[in-house]
Structure 1
């Protein structure tokens, strides 16, 4: 039995455009291992898909959903020969450079949009032996650029006041309990490396409260000439208040943005990745209210 492992020099596997991706391919075998050549390839792509509810609406688009290639590079590590018994390490070096005319978007794992970068190693063997291969994902982040850095004017405090009359999504407002909830978000433009902060105060409520939650939502849009399919899905839900919280007491809003499942807000001609935060209040009588806040995520 023989195994292949791809080891990157960077332990966190995070790279930026223009950097060199260095590492080794480690082949471990008990006996001498003949092979027909070892090849390494670097790939980056955006995979798009439609939700089940949108497939019928955009049949033409559904049939043409092809991955968008951002990065493609290959090299031969070794010509046909033999690998000695034990552990053999073969070094490699790749430039991280996008295909001409294509940007390198940040790594992002979504439901309908997926941006992924991988290194793949293939060892070809004789017809009587099974080929060996291994795949390793690495992460891409934007490099600092003064033209895209967040300005102080973007970081404006967002004050809110939630009442039965302010709820847009409530169809039947007469059955809702009477309440007043105030508070603020420090900013609707957020650094992805920093937590979302703010505070919430339950000023009054005619019905006891069961729970107050903070929900992070991704809104993924895939589109073409036929139209656009926009699908929101939950990323994470954090409880910030348990039970009938004290009236007039500030409750901290604090949420860390999870890596891989978030990325800087992105808008292209064929897809978008946007984010929203919901403040969800659940009352003891099982009434549920939600206040929605679109937010913009940036790297710098």
Structure 2
């Protein structure tokens, strides 16, 4: 016979302005979608915690506290969690709960140095955690927040201010194929447009099909236990049929409609994510020729 443990307390955690605050829709591990309140770096996090006893019974406790935590969880040879942010307030001293009680909390001007992320083997999350300590089992309630990190595009940190700078990606097989994919810059906001063109300089293969893909590569852990996963975020058919020498194909790729994330480089020495443009050509014998080039993504307001 098994017994289900029923918590003697009900904990409600609400954020100030929660109903009117901007939200972000993110996927859960099971593929469902949930809405989380959006916060920025340096923004205050405040709200209320209401604790109610069940069945009007008195409940003794050893104290009530609330924490604001920032954690990186990696699934690399077992799930590991490392906190990079840990703030706490004591809401109540040891005592007895008889009636519903509401506690105000406020974490002022919190530095949120990383953007929230849910990937294949990595999760970077910010969350509030209320703990009612008891001699038996603690009663815990959590509420996740979502954080965006915004960057300002300027001449110092972005090639967006340099429209004349171009990037060239060559696909070549000696004496058989030479293609140049030219695009305007290598750093884009998540709402930007990739503008470019493909030149066919030499075509002696019977090219049947060509496509352009956006690929996100997530890397976590350190050698020799490092894990890397690649995910195709979008795939576009550029050409169906045989090109000829001298032909030019214009490219215009709108990034705003895809589930993209900014480029993360060695975040807290735990993980990185990079985005690549991948050009793939397929000939009549189903042989594939491809070349990848990294683009830097950032979020602007």
The TM-score bracket by the shorter chain reads: 0.5 to 0.7
C-alpha distance after superposition, 1:196-217 (max 9, x if no partner): 5134547457435345141322
Instruction: Provide structure 1 residue ranges, at least 5 long, that are not aligned to the other structure.
Output: 53-61, 166-173
1:189 deviates by 1.5
Which of 74, 80, 83 is the equivalent residue of 1:69?
83
The alignment's TM-score, normalised by the length of structure 2, stands at 0.67
Q: CA deviation at 1:72?
A: 0.7
Return the structure number with greater relative CO, CA threshold 8 A, min gap 6: 1
Match of 1:194 among 188, 191, 198: 191
Alignment of 1:98-113 (within 5 A): 104-113=113-122
Q: Which residue number in structure 2 is paired with residue 121 of structure 1?
A: 130
Q: For residue 289 of structure 1, what is the aligned residue in structure 2? A: 289
The 1:83–1:236 alpha-carbon spacing in structure 2 relative to 1, beyond 3 Å, is: farther
- C-alpha contact (below 8 Å) 2:169/2:291 kept by paired residues: no
Q: What TM-score do you get using the length of structure 1 for normalisation? A: 0.67
Q: Is the 8 A contact 2:165 2:184 kept in 1?
A: yes
Q: Distance in 2 between matches of 1:118 and 1:108?
A: 13
Whether 2:182 is the aligned partner of 1:184: answer yes
Q: How is 1:83-232 mapped onto 2 (pairs within 5 angstroms)?
A: 83-84=99-100, 90-97=103-110, 104-124=113-133, 127=136, 131-142=138-149, 149-150=157-158, 152-153=161-162, 156-165=165-174, 178-191=176-189, 193-195=190-192, 197-201=194-198, 203=200, 206-210=205-209, 212-220=211-219, 222-223=221-222, 231-232=227-228
Whole-angstrom CA distance in 2 between matches of 1:208 and 1:42 = 56
Do residues 240 (structure 1) and 236 (structure 2) align? yes
Aligned-pair RMSD on alpha carbons?
A: 4.0
Whole-angstrom distance in 2 between the partners of 1:4 and 1:257: 38
What are the superposed Cα offsets for residues 167-211 of structure 1, whole Å, 9 maximum, x if unpaired? xxxxxxx9xxx55544323321222x3235134547457435345
Secondary structure of the residue aligned to 1:215 is strand
Equivalent in the alignment of 1:58:
none
Question: Distance in 2 between the 1:156 and 1:228 partners?
Answer: 38
- The CA distance in 1 between the partners of 2:162 and 2:263, in whole Å, is 18
Task: Name stretches of at least 5 consecutive residues in structure 2 with no aligned partner.
Answer: 1-5, 24-36
Mapped contact 2:10–2:54 kept (Cα < 8 A): no
1:254-273 correspondence to structure 2 within 5 Å:
254-256=254-256, 262-267=261-266, 270-271=269-270, 273=272
> Higher strand proportion, which one?
2
Distance 1:159 1:217, change over 3 A: same
Task: Please state how far the C-alpha of 1:228 moved relative to its aligned partner.
Answer: 6.5
Q: Mean Cα displacement is larger for which, 267-276 or 111-120? A: 267-276
Q: Kindly provide the CA deviation profile for residues 26-59 of structure 1, in whole angstroms up to 9, marking residues without a partner as x.
A: 5577743644254321111334454x7xxxxxxx
CA contact (8 A) 1:213 1:281 kept: no
Q: Output the CA distance in 2 between the equivalents of 1:115 and 1:198.
A: 32
